[in-house]
Chain A
Amino acid sequence: MRFQTLTTAEAEAASASALLCGEVSPEVKSPPDGPTVNYVLEIRPAFDTLHHAGAQIAAWFILAETGGEAEGPDHPLLAAARRSFAEAAETIRSVRATPRAAHHHHHLRRAEAAIEAVLGKLSDARQCRDPARRDLALAQLKSGWREMHHAAAALPGFEMVQFSGACCAVHRNALARDN
């Protein structure tokens, strides 16, 4: 399913809404409209896959910084991150956001761009070994991760930590039943 392109006014509204970044924004507290629900259902796998790509790159960094086997761009973690990113990016670039989802999508696009830039900076063995290059890439990864936090805070249905396997997830089910 595809949705209308944002008008200029809607884009400006989304931009203003983005000023709320860093907290759970008002959008997330009220139920989304039907088209936005469809947007959430369509984009959520891509959000999760982009999140996974970011986690894979972070995992490569910890190996690189603690002396582990992390030589170059063909390392399994970076190769997996590239695959994850490509899969996520295709959906993120093609799905049209509803006005209600514009704030979320704005941040998701920024996250996608940041992670693409990180992968670009780690695209050959020399770059992967260069500490200065790695520092730049790590800073960009953190920036992308912040964008994902902002995106998760802008619409219901997106999680930055997988709580589904955690003991506290049982509690969530109990809360839902009680309420």
Chain B
Amino acid sequence: MTDYSIWVLEYSQITQMPRSAVVYGAHNKGTSKLPYCYVLLKGKGRTILLDVGYNNVDYGAYFHTAFGSSNWHGPDEVLGECGIRPEDVTDCIITHAHFDHMGGIALFPNATFYVQEKEITTWVSYMALPRQFRWLMGATDPGDIMRAVDLAKQGRLVLVKGPMEDVFPGIDLHPAYETHTPASQYIVIRNDGKRQSADAWVFAGDLVYQFENLDGGTPDDPYYVPVGLAAGSQANLVFTTHEMLGRVGHESRRVIPIHEEGLKDRFPSRQTKHDLRITEIALADGEKSLVK
């Protein structure tokens, strides 16, 4: 029995991301495509997003010009390919407070948002520091704080304190302190609903960007390589990678890095009319495929 359908949905991309940004220490190794994605879960009567992308209205044009991002499409088009409207989304789990994961919160008017409390409070404490410390604010958008205030006033913001089992049936949240950000979280979906699951998936946020972070590019003799950006420590990222793999019996294909272009080679996928990729990770009982 499979409880949730799971799709990774591309909403934008950078075509030439330096490898050194993706894999720590990979200097002078060229560039590769970095897709920007969020994850759609359907099941148990809920429609859930893992992260919400960024909102092109606020800084998309700048981002496009400065960094070469392209082919951004809003959730009405991206989710529309799955027969979902943004208004239908019931819940959004935010892995961390970077603009490309949290910036789209205003686009889902009926959803409740779940983020680690420490991610927000640490961010807030950084804001009280003098400007010499502004590196700590990198890739965060204070505008998202204002949007979060609106969510809180409407009772749609849940600040999660540490690990949380069964935030929804079979879905667990695990914080990863002082890693990519002060309190990133990864999501475990036990898709058979069992505590000792034989069908678990880990969604890593930016704790790993691509497969190479999981195996060092040598799957026959794997080793963990942290992502190129850590506000905390690379060591914590390495230990968190081991922890995530442990939750899926060290079956690395069950840790899903959403920025990995190669997902299409491991799971059924298709390109939409907007040339965005839909990757189908799992289908709940009775659900129709979106890629065949």
Contacts and interface: CB of A to CB of B under 8 A. Distances in A.
Interface of A: 23-24, 48-49, 51-52, 54-56, 58-59, 61-63, 65-66, 68, 76-77, 80, 138, 141-142, 145, 149, 152-153, 159-172, 174-175
A159 B99 CA distance: 13
A99 to B, nearest CB: 24
Contact of A170 (B18, B69, B127, B157): B18
Given A138-B146, A162-B138, A163-B138, A65 B20 contact: no
B131 A170 contact: no
B128 A76 contact: yes
Interface in B13-37: 14, 16-18, 20-22, 31
Nearest to A174: B18
Given A138-B149, A168-B14, A171-B67, A58 B131 contact: no
A169 B20 CA distance: 11
Nearest to B141: A161
A32 B152 CA distance: 42
16 contacts: A55-B142, A61-B146, A62-B124, A62-B152, A66-B152, A142-B146, A145-B143, A160-B58, A162-B139, A165-B229, A166-B138, A168-B14, A171-B17, A171-B67, A174-B18, A175-B68
Contacts, number: 134
Given A55-B142, A59-B123, 11 more contacts: A24-B61, A24-B62, A59-B142, A61-B145, A63-B124, A66-B152, A152-B62, A160-B143, A167-B22, A170-B18, A171-B16
B95 to A, nearest CB: 15
A163 B14 CA distance: 15
B142 A166 contact: no
B228 interface: yes
Contacts of A171: 14, 16-18, 21, 67-68
A166 B98 contact: yes
Contacts of B140: 161-162
A141 B67 contact: no
Contact of B121 (A56, A58, A68): A68
Nearest to A54: B142
B229 A167 contact: yes
Contact of B67 (A62, A149, A168): A168
In order of increasing CB-CB distance, the 7 nearest A-B pairs are: A165-B138, A55-B142, A166-B139, A65-B152, A167-B21, A58-B145, A59-B124
Contacts of A52: 127, 131, 134
Contacts of A141: 146
Contact of A167 (B63, B149, B227): B227
B66 interface: yes
B142 A58 contact: yes
Contacts of B231: 165
B153 A162 contact: no
Interface in B116-156: 120-121, 123-124, 127-128, 131, 134-143, 145-146, 148-149, 152-153
